[in-house]
Amino acid sequence: MARMPVQFRLNGSDRAVFVEPAETLLGTIRRGLGDFAPKFGCGQGTCGVCTVLVDGEPRLGCLTLSVTCEGRSIETASGLADGPTLHPLQAAFMEHFAAQCGFCTPGMLMAAKALLDRNPNPTRVEVVEAIAGNVCRCTGYEPIINAILAAAQQRGVRRA
Amino acid sequence: MLEFRKDLFADERDDNLNVIGKGEQRQDMLGHVTGRTRFFDDHGFDGLLHLKVVRSPHHHARIRSIDVTAAERAPGVKRVIRGQDVPLNKNTLLSLIDFGKDDEPTLAVDKVRYKGEPIVAIIADSEAEALAAVKLVRVSYDPLPTVFDVQEALKPGAVVVNETYPGNYFEYHDKYDHQKLRFGDVEAAFRTADHVLEERYQMSPIEHASTETNGTIAAPETNNRYVVHSCAQGLFFSLGTTAKILALESNRLHFIGGTVGGGFGGKVDSLTEPLAVLGAILTGRPVRYVLGREEEMQFASPRGAERHVIKDGVMRDGRIVARQITSYFDAGAYTRLTSYGVVKCVAHMPGPYTIPNVRGDAYCVFTNRVPATAMRGFGVTGVDFSIEVQMDKLAHLVGIDPMEFRILNAYRDGDMKAHRRVAHNTALIECVQVVAEKVNWPLSETARRASSLSGGGGPRAAIPPTVTDESGRIGRPETRQAPPQLTPGAAPLPAHQPRPAVPVYQPPPAHQPAAALPNYPSQPADAAPLPAPAPPVPNAPAPPQHGAARFSSVFTRRR
């Protein structure tokens, strides 16, 4: 089948790739562009480890077709840090022991970033809701929720 | 006994041991939060090929024919692998430690024994092409009758699942149909018990469902070796298994791994490594074999189903005087690790309690279900659940508070366990006390003052006269008093040895006086005195033992 050209921004850089019509954004980012931060877990949108941001909105990379991302801005966990400086969410995840095996972490971080970008001061319930689509099988949800709340608080302090 | 030698390399090390109690950053955390941690699938290769597998739609069937001609001609297909292409197409995981017979093919040839069993592997340029070619493989089957229940499978005349073990049970030491535990005389104890309670417990298989599925990427290296990015929890175990199945020198395999996206026991089976490496050998290119989520559920092993039938004899005062357990472990169609889980179960049968008479029988049974494997305490978790529910029922039966009931029956330091190891570092009593305190559960003064450190040992360290079975097996007389010898549980008695007489049941000694629970009646005055306890074993350091020797009932083959 004929391949199709697609251009988008990935973590701030312009990228152009040829994709299969049915290729998923997750496949394009990982095997096409070599950014292995988003993971494959279920391929059916139930586990959230493939979560990336498309124009700031959390999207499941395994259910998003690459051809629909023409001209969009894509963010993954690889682009969270500003050079050597960690994003507050990353620092909070480290501080609060919010990862065990680490496989769900890139998706969790992106779901959390989408939340904090649109709601800088979320309640605990809103945090739980925001990561409700992200499965952690090491069952470390409490430290993850605490880390996200701490990051929000820290960003609030910095803004004040 | 573990000895901590601080004099060795003292100048190269900080011996203050000041880490416990403080937060310490994990060395892998930075990689996790930056997305830079590399799991097995996070490696790019030029010319990467993808491997997908044709799986059995039947639980049990004879394979009449396999036709791969259409698949071989399909677009993008580079290679089709069948059973005869696998150098050693029969393996069992624990053969690396000489335990069990090879019973599982990498690719089924003449028969499939569970739904999802792999038959043919297709290697193609893309996953989509490999999946399309999988659909073109024509396998014709003669479906066979199936057996899914462990006790059905053990009945005479049951369908034979796995011809390596025609009785549908794993053969321990090549001749025993199950693992046996005998300690004292449960029958006599049941006769004198105030209550006898028999209950049946069972649990379904449990899927680990780690977020990362099983998988492997294997690629030729320049030095005639193969690099293998593996999800294995036991990396070197997987290396040895792969080398064996592929008849390769193990130094031609360069395994990289240890970073596992959730394992919980579900990544010890080397399910993907051998085929991925074989694919790399046959194509000369990097080959990626990753299970989809449905395959992970269908083919990758779960924790197996278990059934435990527990019969306990208990006195009115709360002392458990006899416990009999019959356990059935559903191994599924192949052994994988269930045989080992059963050994652990047998050692755990009395639970953390000192019970003077214990009889256990545990079977590792083959059925037409997905083969089972390790998962978090497997072999112990299921029997523990059963025992603890049973403990609640027993406490209710004799009208004693369940917490007090556990403290009353808890093992203490120095007690002999039914599998003939002396209990050390016991802490059940203290655990119950802490739990009771945390949840404001009222305990009697006696229970609060009880301690694992006192009241154990002495007569409780003795191995009671143990009834032998019809063939004179179980227990060696010379080990009867002595704790930590490695006793081959099923060694036959010497021919001239008189069989020990069936003993008259004797109630166990009351718990140590100082800590005794005064509300319970003391043991009958006319009880026959127990044999004098063995003189204390001097605390001489035991000769160093290799780990394999410590677990010799598993790791050595006896005939």
Query: Which ipTM was obtained for this model?
Result: 0.96
Identify the domain boundary among A58, A79, A100.
A79
User: What does the buried/exposed string (b/e) look like for B520-546 if buried means 16 or more CB atoms within 10 Å of the residue's CB?
Assistant: beeeeeeeeebeebbeeeeeeeeeeee
Give the closest of A31, A44, A104 to B293, CB-based.
A44
Q: Any idea which residue has 């093919």 for tokens?
A: B105
Please tell me whether residues A39 and A69 are part of one structural domain.
yes
Report the CATH number at residue A61.
3.10.20.30
Contact B34 A22 (CB under 8 A): no
Query: Which of A30, A78, A103, A104 to substitute to test the interface with B, most B CBs within 10 Å?
Result: A103
**Could you identify the residue written with the tokens 């390769």?**
B248
Phi, psi for A73 (deg, rounded to 5): -110, 120
A42 CA: distance to closest CA in chain B (Å): 5
The H helix count followed by the E strand count for chain B is 15, 15
Residues A105 and A39 in one domain: no
Tokens of B199: 């209950």
Question: B206 by DSSP, 3-state: which?
Answer: strand
Chain B interface test: which of A20, A76, A137 (most B C-beta within 10 Å): A137
Q: Is A18 on the interface with B (CB under 8 A)?
A: no
* Distance (Å, whole) CA A63 – CA A50: 9
B214 to chain A, minimum CA–CA distance in Å? 10
Which residue's structure tokens are 């894509």? A74
Domain final position from A28, A50, A79:
A79
For B290, nearest residue in chain A (alpha carbons): A40
Q: In chain B, which residues have their Cβ closer than 8 Å to the Cβ of A81?
A: 34
Distance from CA of B79 to the nearest CA of A (A): 21
Whether B34 and A101 lie within 8 Å, measured CB to CB:
no
CB contacts, 8 Å: A109 with chain B: 33, 35
Give me the pLDDT at residue B516, please.
Answer: 37
Cβ pair B35:A94 closer than 8 A: no
Q: Which residue of B has its CA nearest to A48?
A: B211
What fold characterizes domain B215-298?
A: Aldehyde Oxidoreductase; domain 4 (3.30.365)
pLDDT score of B485: 34
In terms of domains, do A74 and A112 share one?
no
Are A56 and A121 within one domain? no
Residues from chain A contacting residue B262 (CB–CB below 8 Å): 101, 103, 137-138
Query: What is the DSSP code string of B284-353?
Result: SS-EEEE--HHHHHHTS--BPPEEEEEEEEE-TTS-EEEEEEEEEEEEETS-TTHHHHHHHHHHHTT-SB
Written as one letter, the residue type at B293 is: R
Q: Among A79, A112, A133, give the residue marking a domain's end.
A: A79
Q: Tens of pLDDT along A58-111?
A: 999 999 999 999 999 999 999 999 999 999 999 999 999 999 999 999 999 999
| Residue pair A107/A38 in contact by the 8 Å Cβ criterion | yes
Assess whether A37 and A62 both reside in one domain.
yes
Query: Among partner residues A20, A49, A81, which is closest to B34 by beta-carbon distance?
Result: A81
Show which residues on chain B lie within 8 Å of chain A, measured between beta carbons: 23, 25-26, 28-39, 41-44, 48, 126, 128, 208-213, 259-264, 290, 292-293
Mutate to test the interface with B, among A11, A29, A36 (most CBs of B within 10 A): A36
* Nearest chain A residue (CA) to B35: A37
Looking at residue A155, what is its pLDDT? 79
B179-204+304-478 architecture in CATH? 2-Layer Sandwich (3.30)
Predicted local distance difference test score (pLDDT) of residue B5: 76
- Measure CB to CB from residue A94 to each of B30, B259, B263 and give the nearest one: B30
pLDDT at residue A118 above 60? yes
* Cα of A108 to nearest chain B Cα, Å: 10
CATH 3.40.640.10 applies to domain B49-143 = no
Same domain, yes or no, for A72 and A128? no
State chain A's maximal CA–CA distance in angstroms.
55
Q: Are residue A60 and residue A95 in the same domain, yes or no?
A: no
Q: What is the CATH number of the domain that holds A150?
A: 1.10.150.120
In this complex, how many residue pairs, one in chain A and one in chain B, have their CB atoms less than 8 Å apart? 102
Nearest-10 Cα torsion for B121, B123, B126, B132: -50
Paired residues of A85 in beta bridges: A82
The answer to whether residues A34 and A93 belong to one domain is: no
Cβ A39–B39 below 8 Å, yes or no? yes
Domain that holds residue A38: 4-79
The reply to whether residue A77 touches residue B34, judged by beta carbons under 8 angstroms, is yes
- In chain B, where the domains are located: 49-143, 179-204+304-478, 215-298
Q: Which residue in the set A20, A43, A102 is minimally distant from B37, CB to CB?
A: A102
Residue type for B202, please? Q
Q: Are B75 and B130 in contact (CB under 8 A)?
A: no
Q: What local confidence, expressed as pLDDT, does residue B21 receive?
A: 81
- If we measure between CA atoms, which residue out of B113, B98, B99 comes closest to residue B170? B99
A77, A94, A101 ranked by CB distance to B35: nearest: A77
Point out the residue among B32, B209, B293 whose CB comes nearest to the CB of A102: B32
Q: What is the mean pLDDT of chain A?
A: 95
Nearest-Cα distance to chain B for A123, in Å, is 23
Task: Say which of A44, A90, A101 has its CB closest to residue B34.
Answer: A90
For residue B30, the chain A residue with the least C-alpha distance is A94
Q: What contacts B537, CB < 8 A, 6 or more positions away?
A: B482, B483, B484
pLDDT at B499: 40
Question: Which residue of chain B comes nearest to A108, CA vs CA?
Answer: B33
Digit-by-digit pLDDT tens for chain B (559 residues) are: 667 777 888 888 777 778 788 888 999 999 999 999 999 999 999 999 999 999 999 999 999 999 999 999 999 999 999 999 999 999 999 999 999 999 999 999 999 999 999 999 999 999 999 999 999 999 999 999 999 999 999 999 999 999 999 999 999 998 899 999 999 999 999 999 999 999 999 999 999 999 999 999 999 999 999 999 999 999 999 999 999 999 999 999 999 998 999 999 999 999 999 999 999 999 999 999 999 999 998 889 999 999 999 999 999 999 999 999 999 999 999 999 999 999 999 999 999 999 999 999 999 999 999 999 999 999 999 999 999 999 999 999 999 999 999 999 999 999 999 999 999 999 999 999 999 999 999 999 999 999 999 999 999 999 998 877 666 666 443 333 333 333 334 333 333 444 444 444 444 444 443 333 434 333 333 434 444 444 444 444 444 444 333 333 444 443 3
What single letter denotes the amino acid at residue B20? I
Chain A interface mutation, best of B22, B34, B294, highest count of A Cβ atoms under 10 Å: B34
- HEC string of B463-479 equals CCCCCCCCCCECCCHHH
Flag whether residue A133 sits within 8 Å of chain B, measured between CB atoms: no
E strands within chain A?
Answer: 4-10, 13-19, 51-54, 57-60, 73-75
Same domain, A41 and A106: no
How far apart are alpha carbons B395 and B409 in whole angstroms? Answer: 11
Q: Sort out which chain A residues have CB atoms less than 8 A from B35's CB and list them.
A: 35-38, 76-78, 80, 105-106, 109
Question: Cα(B52)–Cα(B118) distance, rounded to whole angstroms?
Answer: 10
A97 vs B contacts (CB less than 8 Å): 23, 26, 29
Q: What is d(CA B280, CA B231) in angstroms, rounded to the nearest whole number?
A: 17
Q: What is the pLDDT of residue B474?
A: 63
Domains B49-143 and B179-204+304-478 equal at CATH topology level: no
Q: Verify whether the Cβ–Cβ distance B211 to A39 is below 8 Å.
A: yes
* Beta-carbon contacts of residue B113 (< 8 Å; ≥ 6 apart): B59, B60, B161, B162, B333, B334, B368
CA A19 to chain CA centroid, nearest Å: 21
Q: How many domains does chain A have?
A: 2
Chain B nearest CA to A70, separation (Å): 23
When comparing pLDDT for B519 and A51, which is higher? A51
Can you tell me whether residue B66 is helix, strand or coil?
Answer: strand
